Structure 1
Amino acid sequence: MASQRIFQLGLRRVAAPGLRVQPAGRMVQRRLAATEHVSQPHGTEILAKQRLRRPVSPHLTIYRPQITWYASALNRVCGIMLSGPLYLFGFAYLAAPTLGWHLETQSMIAAVAAWPLVAKVALKAYFAFPFFFHCLNGFRHLSWDVGVGFKNQTVIRTGWTMIAMTVAGSLYYTFIG
């Protein structure tokens, strides 16, 4: 086996004299660059001609939307929707003694109890939908991390199942829980 490898490397050296063998046995091509000084306008002209010949990457609008796109974007948005208010409340809680705000548990319970029912339900829904979606999508990603569920049909099925479970769990928590 080693003699075949040595023979192949020898043939490659003869066939392509510009190639060089690295210590790990890989072939590396050497190209000597010829440079010349080019004026700024001429350089800009060369770049413009090169850009005309450069291939254009297809835009996202030519692809059919997939559940994984939406789930990925929505997972990030849900993370921001959950962490943003947490950080704001944390900073407000730390600044409360200095500013004279009352953010103790008893004060918060009394304030929320005085809200109309619609405001309470809206606040629960605001936190329920992102929470359930972010958690369920996290479990989905954990299953992918261990190598389970990578077939296209499985990815699509788990995506829609996750959305259905998010809606069901959020509605249950918002109105019953």
Structure 2
Amino acid sequence: MLAQRATQQALRRFAQRSVISQAAAKNLAAPLSLTSQIQTRPVATQKHLTPADSYKILVEQRRLRPISPHLSIYRPQITCVAGGWVRGVADRGAGCDEAVLLGAVYVPCL
């Protein structure tokens, strides 16, 4: 236990920086961090638009914008087409099963 504690303290001391190395690291890292954060980008400019010109641009954009899709552009899925038929058959089958089971329980009681 004593050896483990001594090793742990030695590693902690080794991991700590001295005051001199901390000051040197701050002085070195500060200019590097400032220059890496500066970005320059070209600025796009455009002329001032009148309300009439901006409305013309808006109308042109709306004209080129696609309208909402109609259902005819989608290919019908087999599950969609057959689903209604299968459900109807299943409902009728379940109804017949229920009638038979209730009849089997009810008829002997007569």
Q: Same fold (TM over 0.5)?
A: no
TM-score, length of structure 2 as denominator length: 0.31
Work out which of the two has the higher radius of gyration on C-alpha atoms and give 1 or 2: 2
TM-score, length of structure 1 as denominator length: 0.23
